[in-house]
């Protein structure tokens, strides 16, 4: 464990985790806090940022980060934030770092948020964005759907929905600390409660209600851990071993492997929730993003080879 990650955990324990102790949710306060704390990194040299936040930009409402040179890879990124706060802007640091390492252009989706827009709004937006990319001529074999926390769960739910609808599937899925169980049935909700530097486990129950509305928490399209994983593309999953959401990641990896899906799952010791957000400051975050980028290049290259041989 690097001193940088130890410092990040220390900060989270003192500034963020106490906010989750009561289990009460203040949507407006969370959004205001995030908007004030947004750190907007410079657009990397050799890359272009295109903001598309107009009403007419849907279903591709959000941000494109594209390299000046042509890339054969596209990442559809779904940000975290419990489905009720955060944005494409709040996740620029992670997205920019991921894109640079992968050499892929990235579209960071500004999906609708709960509680104003409960399930299936976020899923509908993710599906519409993916289908628009394909309609616009982007090959499914060149696309990877990625996300963190709630966005990681949404990425997996999107893959399940695309498969069940008979859509052409992307080359793979990347999930950082995914929230895949809105019913909070994972054992780590208890065993890591108090160890997680960022959250107390019980806070996820009221947060889930914001997105669920009247939907059953065990519906696989809101809690994909309860889904069937056959015929999914390769998955890349990473989380920290002290997270209350640890089992949301490990159970998905286990079920996917049993269903014959190729899975790269790595559990990092003593890392906070979505530690990739702390790149480039935290060395472990840099290494994790390097591994995720290598996965993107690998699965898209494999799909291109399969298509050329067909």
pLDDT, tens only, 198-238: 999 999 999 999 999 999 999 999 999 999 999 999 999 99
Residue 307's pLDDT is what?
A: 60
Mean predicted confidence (pLDDT) in 150-175: 98
What confidence category does residue 184 fall into, taking pLDDT thresholds of 50, 70 and 90? very high
Q: Is the pLDDT of residue 40 over 80?
A: no
Give percent of the chain above pLDDT 70.
Answer: 96
Residue 27's pLDDT is what?
A: 95
Residue 306's pLDDT is what?
A: 65
Residue 310's pLDDT is what?
A: 54
Mean predicted confidence (pLDDT) in 257-279: 97
How does the average pLDDT of the chain come out, rounded?
A: 95
Mean predicted confidence (pLDDT) in 79-84: 98
pLDDT digits (tens, 9 = 90+) for 56-67: 999 999 999 999
- Bond before 120 cis per omega within 30 degrees: yes
Domain that holds residue 173: 3-309
Mean predicted confidence (pLDDT) in 108-114: 98
The CA angle 154-158-162, to the nearest 5 degrees, is: 175
> Domain total for the chain?
1
User: Is 116 among the catalytic positions?
Assistant: no
What confidence category does residue 136 fall into, taking pLDDT thresholds of 50, 70 and 90? very high
Residue 215's pLDDT is what?
A: 98
pTM, rounded to two decimals: 0.96
Mean predicted confidence (pLDDT) in 233-260: 98
Q: Which of 111-115, 274-278, 300-304 has the lowest mean pLDDT?
A: 300-304
Q: Looking at residue 197, which CATH number applies to its domain?
A: 3.40.50.1820
What confidence category does residue 24 fall into, taking pLDDT thresholds of 50, 70 and 90? confident
What confidence category does residue 47 fall into, taking pLDDT thresholds of 50, 70 and 90? very high
Candidates 176, 172, 178; CA nearest to 74 is 172
63, 79, 108, 243: the active-site residue: 243
Query: How many CB atoms neighbour CB 252 within 10 A?
Result: 26
Q: Is the pLDDT of residue 303 over 70?
A: no
Mean predicted confidence (pLDDT) in 142-146: 98
Interatomic CA distance for residues 24 and 4, integer angstroms = 30
219, 160 in Cβ contact below 8 A?
no
User: Is 117 among the catalytic positions?
Assistant: no
Residue 23's pLDDT is what?
A: 82
CA distances from 68 to 40, 49, 297, 298, 300 (A): 20, 10, 18, 22, 20
Extended strands (E) in 248-294: 263-268
Residue 302's pLDDT is what?
A: 73
232, 164 in Cβ contact below 8 A?
no
* DSSP helix/strand/coil, 216: coil
Q: Is the dihedral of CA 285, 288, 294, 299 positive or negative?
A: negative
149, 184, 223, 288: the active-site residue: 149
Q: Is the pLDDT of residue 36 over 90?
A: no
Interatomic CA distance for residues 230 and 232, integer angstroms = 6
Residue 35's pLDDT is what?
A: 81
87, 88, 273, 284: the active-site residue: 273
Candidates 150, 209, 205, 207; CA nearest to 177 is 150
User: Is 273 among the catalytic positions?
Assistant: yes
């Amino acid at each position: 464990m690097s001193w940088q990650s130890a410092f990040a955990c220390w900060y989270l324990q003192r500034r963020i985790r106490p906010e989750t102790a009561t289990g009460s949710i203040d949507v407006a306060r969370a959004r205001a806090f995030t908007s004030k704390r947004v750190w907007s990194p410079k657009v990397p040299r050799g890359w272009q940022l295109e903001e598309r936040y107009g009403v007419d930009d849907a279903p591709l409402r959000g941000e494109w980060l594209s390299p000046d040179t042509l890339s054969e890879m596209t990442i559809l990124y779904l940000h975290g934030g419990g489905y009720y706060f955060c944005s494409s802007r709040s996740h620029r640091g992670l997205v920019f770092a991921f894109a640079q390492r992968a050499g892929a252009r990235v579209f960071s989706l500004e999906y609708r948020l709960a509680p104003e827009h409960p399930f299936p709004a976020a899923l509908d937006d993710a599906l519409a964005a993916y289908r628009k990319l394909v309609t616009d001529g982007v090959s499914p074999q060149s696309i990877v759907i990625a996300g963190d926390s709630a966005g990681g769960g949404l990425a997996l739910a999107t893959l399940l929905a695309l498969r069940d609808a008979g859509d052409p599937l992307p080359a793979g899925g990347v999930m950082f600390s995914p929230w895949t169980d809105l019913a909070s049935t994972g054992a780590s909700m208890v065993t890591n409660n108090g160890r997680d530097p960022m959250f107390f486990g019980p806070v996820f129950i009221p947060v889930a209600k914001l997105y669920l509305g009247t939907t059953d928490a065990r519906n696989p399209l809101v809690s994909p851990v309860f889904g069937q994983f056959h015929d999914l593309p390769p998955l890349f999953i990473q989380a920290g071993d002290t997270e209350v959401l640890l089992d949301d990641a490990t159970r998905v990896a286990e079920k996917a492997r049993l269903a014959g899906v190729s899975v790269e799952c790595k559990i990092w010791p003593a890392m906070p929730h979505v530690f990739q957000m702390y790149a480039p400051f935290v060395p472990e975050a840099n290494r994790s993003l390097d591994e995720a980028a290598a996965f993107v290049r690998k699965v898209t290259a494999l799909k291109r080879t399969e298509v050329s041989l067909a």
